[in-house]
């Protein structure tokens, strides 16, 4: 079997900006990613656990005590997330960002809560409650979703094994059972480094997607001048599907500015062939690590630096948000391996071939 390659190893370059060293969301300093992958038969005949959990941690400290600026943007709302109402109201994220399958949201929420309560005994006692952020896609074509294989301990394990290393991609973690453009999708990531030439300051921006959308006919394969090496069948039952997009940056942005940047992720999604279909939950969760916001303070005011709206670096962030989203989706396809799940259902790895010359 050919080793999966990232899209750049196949000769495709997205956008004009340089990637980070790892070309991964973990190029944003301090960001950690963890996965737990479930891949085994269940007791009932034909049933199979083909699913998992993915955690994105904005930093390696106590996220409840040191929050980060956050925002979300809904491209199409056919999704079952937790926590986004408060994120947009208060403009902060105070927990790991968790991804899983649709029916795994309650268990992952519980596990994440248990983890955060253990680290913060004051939550719900001497201080307020906590806002947990969990997103999902429907992996029921390959995963026996009704059997509820994802359990709270998987979320805890996922958070505990998170690292700043290059994240595995494709059919791992929450991406284990996902299908994209009729072929095996899942986890994908990419990053960019932006330079403010006048000040010499550089900023990083990274993206991680959970791709589970689109039909084969939608994929803009001709745009990338790629050929299919063999006529492997696309998954026979098409679905509107979904995509979760997590965007991270160390640029000093307000919550409102983050939401503006998050909107541009939809451009990258559209470039690959999505039209944000009726039944697709297309949701962006964004955060900035530039500031750590204390949970409590005796001061009545606080100061934060933020970028000017009219500075050229804002347009670079807009463009880079589109680029990293597009490349992360392509990487989720390029890195995924053929996967068989419940009732023998199989999603093939996309048969990427060589790049055709212009």
Q: Which residues pair with 67 in a beta bridge?
A: 293
> What is the pLDDT averaged over residues 165-193?
97
Does residue 275 form part of some domain? Answer: yes
Is 50 exceeded by the pLDDT of residue 347? yes
Q: pLDDT tier at 37 (50, 70, 90 boundaries)? A: very high
- Condensed to tens digits (0 to 9), the pLDDT of residues 224-268 reads 776 655 667 788 766 678 999 999 999 999 999 999 999 999 999
Number of Cβ within a 10 Å radius of residue 25: 29
**pLDDT at res. 234:** 81
Active site residue 282: yes
Between β-strands 241-249 and 281-294, what pairing exists: parallel, antiparallel or unpaired?
A: parallel
**pLDDT at res. 114:** 98
Active site residue 300: no
Does residue 280 form part of some domain? Answer: yes
Length of the chain: 358
**pLDDT at res. 5:** 80
Does residue 358 form part of some domain? Answer: no
> What is the pLDDT averaged over residues 141-160?
98
**pLDDT at res. 227:** 64
**pLDDT at res. 236:** 72
> What is the pLDDT averaged over residues 132-145?
97
Q: pLDDT tier at 277 (50, 70, 90 boundaries)? A: confident
Point out the catalytic residue in the list 95, 144, 211, 242.
242
Structural domain that includes position 162: 13-295+308-337
CATH at residue 203: 3.60.70.12
Does residue 194 form part of some domain? Answer: yes
Number of structural domains the chain divides into: 1
Which of 27-31, 113-117, 143-147, 309-313 is predicted with the least confidence, judged by mean pLDDT? 309-313
Does residue 283 form part of some domain? Answer: yes
- Condensed to tens digits (0 to 9), the pLDDT of residues 280-301 reads 899 999 999 999 999 988 888 8
Does residue 354 form part of some domain? Answer: no
**pLDDT at res. 256:** 98
Point out the catalytic residue in the list 144, 189, 280, 288.
280
Is 80 exceeded by the pLDDT of residue 117? yes
Does residue 349 form part of some domain? Answer: no
Helices (H), the chain: 84-90, 105-119, 152-160, 255-263, 265-272, 312-334
Does residue 98 form part of some domain? Answer: yes
Q: In three state form, how does the secondary structure of 107-157 look? A: HHHHHHHHHHHHHCCCCCCCCCCCCCEEEEECCCCCCCHHHCCCCHHHHHH
Is 50 exceeded by the pLDDT of residue 88? yes
Point out the catalytic residue in the list 27, 139, 282, 323.
282
**pLDDT at res. 1:** 43
Q: pLDDT tier at 29 (50, 70, 90 boundaries)? A: very high
Which string of b and e fits 206-235 if b means at least 16 CB within 10 Å? bbbbbbbbbbbebbebeebebeeeeeeebb
């Amino acid at each position: 079997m050919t080793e999966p390659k990232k899209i750049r190893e196949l000769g495709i370059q997205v956008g004009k900006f340089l990637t980070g060293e790892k070309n991964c969301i973990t190029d944003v300093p301090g960001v950690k990613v963890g996965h737990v992958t479930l891949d085994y038969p269940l007791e009932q005949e034909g049933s199979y656990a083909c699913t998992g959990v993915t955690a994105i941690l904005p930093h390696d400290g106590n996220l409840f005590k040191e929050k980060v600026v956050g925002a979300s943007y809904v491209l199409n709302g056919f999704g079952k997330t937790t926590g986004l109402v408060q994120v947009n109201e208060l403009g902060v994220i105070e927990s790991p960002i968790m991804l899983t399958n649709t029916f795994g949201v309650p268990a992952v929420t519980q596990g994440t809560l248990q983890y955060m309560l253990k680290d913060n005994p004051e939550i719900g006692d001497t201080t307020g409650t906590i806002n947990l952020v969990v997103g999902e896609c429907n992996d029921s074509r390959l995963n026996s979703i009704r059997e509820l294989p994802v359990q709270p301990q998987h979320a805890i394990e996922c958070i505990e094994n998170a690292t700043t290393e290059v994240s595995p991609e494709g059919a791992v973690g929450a991406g284990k059972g996902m299908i994209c453009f009729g072929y095996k999708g899942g986890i994908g990531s990419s990053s960019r480094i932006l330079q403010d030439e006048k000040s010499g300051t550089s900023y990083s921006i990274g993206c991680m997607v959970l791709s589970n959308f689109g039909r084969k006919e939608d994929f803009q394969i001709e745009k990338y001048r790629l050929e299919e090496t063999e006529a492997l069948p696309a998954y026979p039952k098409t679905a509107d599907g979904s995509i979760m997009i997590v965007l991270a940056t160390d640029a000093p942005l307000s919550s409102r500015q983050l939401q503006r940047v998050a909107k541009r992720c939809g451009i990258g999604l559209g470039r690959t062939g999505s039209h944000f279909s009726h039944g697709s939950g297309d949701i962006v969760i964004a955060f900035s690590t530039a500031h750590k916001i204390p949970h409590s303070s005796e001061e009545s005011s606080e100061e934060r630096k933020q970028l000017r709206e009219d500075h050229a670096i804002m347009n670079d962030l807009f463009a880079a948000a589109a680029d990293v989203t597009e490349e992360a989706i392509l990487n989720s396809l390029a890195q995924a391996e053929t996967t068989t799940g419940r009732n023998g259902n199989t999603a093939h790895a996309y048969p990427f071939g060589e790049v055709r010359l212009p």
